[in-house]
Structure 1
Amino acid sequence: MSFSYKEIYNEDGKKVLEVNILPEKYCNFDCIFCPIGRSYNKVDIQRPFDEIDNSLKELENMIENHKVELVYINSKGEALINSKISTIIELIKSKGVSVRLLSNGYLLGRDEYIQIANKCDEVIGEIKAIKEEDFQKIQRPIEGYTLKEYISNMTSFNKQYKGKFILEVTIIKGYNDTEESIDKIKSIISELSPDNIIVERMNDEKFKKKLGISDKRFKEISKVLQNT
């Protein structure tokens, strides 16, 4: 398999390289609003993919040639599913480069995934639905998953994590944009105790009309949550 990359960009004065380490979408969720599309490979155990030696070499060259300072593993689905993710992280770290991992966060309660995530300098977890019925309806997780366990997994992970834990909260019209919902999100943030909070909304054109919120409401909610 080969990795795919976004254009290198600057963030807070650092050169950031974003990399996808999955050949197609592999995820433990099948969210109705996922910009990548449906999850035909709904899994939560690691999978081996094709030989990745060439991909690792390409990643190494990208880091060296562009003097990258942070590699952001942002994949098509749940990056922890790639059985070679530890090798990928170790290669990046061997270059003296920081690693940021985006995970939806559900797997951060399992020992094998905790050990992998602990190697990263930054880990991003996500919260979208805040009611159990909504979690099942719009995030369509693997059978047996619960919202309570989802939050608990991220909470227990962050308690032992030495790096920077970032929580990305996505505001979805009709699901978590009321005052009552915002209070619930505040209590979740308090429980998770992240180092940083990113507030997002539906920006994909396919979902914006039905699930997007106004600029005014977005600013109001962002202000409240980022002062939590």
Structure 2
Amino acid sequence: MSNFSYKDIYMEDVRRVLEVNILPEKHCNFDCIFCPIGRSQNKVDTQKSFDKIDSSLAELESKIETGKAELIFINSKGEALVHDKIDDIIDFVKAKGLQVRLLSNGYLLSREEYIEISNKCDEVVGEIKVITEEDFQKVQRPIEGYTLAEYISNMASFNKQYKGKFIFEITIIKGYNDDEKSIEKIKAVIKEISPDEIIVARMEEDRFKKKLGITDERYEEISKALLDDVWKF
């Protein structure tokens, strides 16, 4: 029985993308109040064993062949790096001559074992959602001892040595990082991390949108401010 789950193949630019979740249930090093998956009952930042992946890899191979996938996007329930077979999964995909994109929240990208795994990927996505230490602890509820400064530094140090494409996703949240002071702080973070691509996102889930969503107009203003100014650094 396979523990993987999938989204339908979709086109991105000229590539056929297959998005796969490799975790059977949520495992994450954060417990964000606005996570669309829900609470983190398994808050971990070290690797964990799941069932054997032979049947999961066979299903993945079938999905790749039938969908003619060109890019495999590992976008899991929580932090995919805690799956102890993620190295094998990436190797399996790469052996087929396909590209791999890995979504990580970014905190673990300073640890040697996770750096080695992530370096195998053609693209790595890191993310940020709040911009003050108080908010980080309050709403992202990380494992004890985590700090926002280290979070940002971990992504910056990883990207300095990374040879692939580092994508930085910034989620704008009403009341947390949508004011002008926060936007200036985000610009400084972008400069520190120096990503190859920036994605400006916002709360889209209906249950969070009313309280934490920003207007279309404000979204456009912030996107323009971040995307126009970043290339001036």
Match of 1:141 in 2: 142
Per-residue deviation at 1:91?
Answer: 0.4
Match of 1:111 in 2: 112
1:54-101: per-residue Cα shift (whole Å, max 9, x none)? Answer: 001111121122221000000000000100000000000000000000
Give the TM-score of the pair, scaled to structure 2. Answer: 0.97
The one-letter amino acid of 1:95's match is K
The ranges of structure 1 where at least 4 consecutive aligned residues each deviate by more than 4 angstroms after the TM superposition are: none
1:86 and 2:87 correspond: yes
Q: SS where residue 100 of structure 1 aligns?
A: strand
Q: Bigger CA drift: 69-78 or 55-64?
A: 55-64
Match of 1:71 in 2: 72
Match of 1:50 in 2: 51
| Cα distance in 2 between the residues matched to 1:174 and 1:65 | 44
Match of 1:202 in 2: 203
| Cα distance in 2 between the residues matched to 1:46 and 1:223 | 39
Match of 1:102 in 2: 103
| Cα distance in 1 between the residues matched to 2:65 and 2:163 | 27
| Cα distance in 2 between the residues matched to 1:57 and 1:118 | 24
Any stretches of 5+ residues in structure 2 without a counterpart?
A: none
| Cα distance in 1 between the residues matched to 2:63 and 2:179 | 44
1:142-175: per-residue Cα shift (whole Å, max 9, x none)? Answer: 0000000000100000000000000000000000
Match of 1:128 in 2: 129
Give the TM-score of the pair, scaled to structure 1. Answer: 0.99
Per-residue deviation at 1:105?
Answer: 0.2
Any stretches of 5+ residues in structure 1 without a counterpart?
A: none
Q: SS where residue 209 of structure 1 aligns?
A: helix
Q: SS where residue 41 of structure 1 aligns?
A: coil
Q: SS where residue 203 of structure 1 aligns?
A: coil
Count of aligned pairs between the two proteins: 228
Q: SS where residue 99 of structure 1 aligns?
A: strand
| Cα distance in 1 between the residues matched to 2:144 and 2:204 | 28
1:79-136: per-residue Cα shift (whole Å, max 9, x none)? Answer: 0010000000000000000000000000001000000000000000001111000000
| Cα distance in 1 between the residues matched to 2:65 and 2:158 | 32
Q: SS where residue 199 of structure 2 aligns?
A: strand
Match of 2:177 in 1: 176
1:162-194: per-residue Cα shift (whole Å, max 9, x none)? Answer: 000000000000000000100000000000000
Match of 1:32 in 2: 33
The one-letter amino acid of 1:209's match is K
| Cα distance in 1 between the residues matched to 2:62 and 2:164 | 26
Identical-pair percentage = 71
The one-letter amino acid of 2:101's match is R
Match of 1:166 in 2: 167
| Cα distance in 1 between the residues matched to 2:52 and 2:85 | 10
